[in-house]
Amino acid sequence: MPNKEREKTPIPADLGELEQLMIDTTGLNKSFDLGVRKLKILHKGVHMYYINGLTDTQFIMRIVEDLVEVNDHERLSSKLPEIVQNRIPHQSVAPVKTVEEMVDEVLSGLIAFVVEGEQEALIVDVRSYPGRQPQEPDTEKVVRGSRDGYVENIIVNTALTRRRIRDPRLRFEIFRVGERSKTDISIAYIEDVANPSLVKVIKSELKSIKIDGLTMADKTVEEFLVKQGYNPFPLVRYTERADIGATHLLEGHVLIFVDTSPSVIITPTTYFHHLQHAEEYRQSPAVGTFVRWARFVGLLASLFLLPLWYLFVLDPSLLPPQLEFIGPNEETNIPVIVQLLMADLGIEFLRLAAIHTPTPLSTAMGLIAAVLIGQIAIDVGLFVPEVILYVSVAAIGTFSTPSYELSVANKLLRLALLIVVAIFGIPGLVVGTTVFLLLLVRIRSLNTPYLWPFIPFSPRAFMQIIIRRSMPGSKIRPSIVQPRNKYKQPAKSR
């Protein structure tokens, strides 16, 4: 049964019996990619089980060549299992004693050697997963900085992180999750920095996942980990940049790597973590602070520009004389709120179309949308020009949000505020904004306040959110992760 522990079957000493077990359990001789190579060494049978496509063929050929060269002189010095183990020119060789363990390893891309008369298999890691090479992520580009990013191979991803943090206390603990998929998941943390309670909770949650498979990889893990439900705001942060992952490790966060996904999960995170971008730290502190403030302005525009403008349309008396020009200067037969909703949904249609449109055609699609649809919609009287202007500015603010998940959540909030303003006017905007803030205050991600350091207020941390400090001046790790060692720099440099 999927949720019950399987009974463990010892590896039989008879190779014929083992082969029959493999036929019954894995479809050997029926699945074309699963194979067995039968060797005869010192008059004894040796079987090698493997998966085509997940293994390094050149390495396997070298191992087989070394094994078939075993001669009778070696029989005098040691037994055949020891000879086989010593002849395997690989650094990763481990014995297993049950058929289930052997099957799991073989289906993961490792190979298994079984010697006739022995009740254990030697597992050799010769995995060579198909995939792309590390390259800069499309959603986290910087003007200057590294161009390598995480890929779909968990081994490559941990290596990219290890390359940046060569600390012997950096830990990568690996698990297998999914009754059928048996997906590799690794948690990464620095042992003397990360909070042990946080590490324990994450390990416990991952081990408690009971599901057939993780075909959606990191997103499925996230839903089991933080139990988000229908809350639209992201409770973990994703990154495809190895430098960002390494930076968060040094701050005391815990990273979750899921095989087949190029996105790494950062835990725990707050609302303001989703507003940070690597570009801020690739420029001088002054420029980085300016970029950060511009992003904050874009965030506020994406949330409140349309509701505020529509409020002024409903009650022009709220505007001072100097701003009387704000508002539609043309009459139209379609209510302004309908125009705003239609234009905002139209932007969403364009975003979805851009995702599903091949890159060579996306530019042409953008020109059609901007030049033809927008202008003709104004000419025929469907929209007033101000609607197109303010919807476009709000959309740009949405696109300036570094976190894609947060930008979509903010868009839903903007639509909700528009509707309550249309129904209740000024009280709707005030109450809607208050409810929004209360919702964020109540959210906790792995027992971390979502609006920290704003609520609860931490002056030192809040200033670091507002102003990008230089690296020599940033000596203390964020207290929200409760690091074991709160200082980033050695005692002599503080």
What pLDDT, in 10s, does the model give residues 367-392? 666 666 777 777 777 788 888 889 98
Long-range contacts of 78-83 (CB under 8 A, 24+ apart): 80/41, 80/42, 80/44, 80/46, 80/115, 81/115, 81/118, 81/120, 81/122, 83/41, 83/42
pLDDT for residue 8: 84
Encode pLDDT of 283-308 as tens digits.
899 999 999 999 999 999 999 999 99
Residue 51, SS3? Answer: strand
Q: Which residue has the higher pLDDT, 3 or 399?
A: 399
Q: Give the model confidence (pLDDT) of 345-364 as tens digits.
A: 888 887 887 777 776 666 66
Q: What pLDDT score does 372 carry? A: 67
What pLDDT score was predicted for residue 174? 92
1 pLDDT tier (thresholds 50, 70, 90): very low
In the 8-state DSSP scheme, what is residue 98? B
- pLDDT at res. 349: 83
CA–CA gap between residue 431 and residue 175 (Å, rounded): 46
- pLDDT, residue 41, reads 85
Task: Quickly list DSSP for 151-181.
Answer: -S-HHHHHHHHHHH---TTEEEEEEEE-TTT
Mean pLDDT for 439-447 is: 91
For residues 266 and 236, the answer to whether their CB atoms sit within 8 Å is yes
Please give the average per-residue pLDDT across 191-212, as a whole number: 93
What are the tens digits of pLDDT across the range 310-341? 999 888 888 888 777 777 766 777 889 999 99
Mean pLDDT of the chain: 87
The per-residue pLDDT for 3 is: 42
In the numeric block, the tokens 């997906």 are attached to 183
Angle at 124 between CA 119 and CA 129, to 5 degrees: 135
Higher pLDDT, 36 or 79: 36
**Model confidence at 226: pLDDT above 80:** yes
* DSSP H helical ranges for 27-88: 57-68, 72-77, 80-87
For the cut 80, the answer to whether the pLDDT of residue 265 exceeds it is: yes
Close Cβ partners of 230 (under 8 Å, ≥ 6 residues apart): none
For range 110-122, the mean pLDDT: 91
Q: Answer whether 171's CB lies under 8 Å from 189's CB.
A: yes
pTM for the model: 0.87
> 121 or 80: whose pLDDT is higher?
121
Residue 354 structure tokens: 């851009």
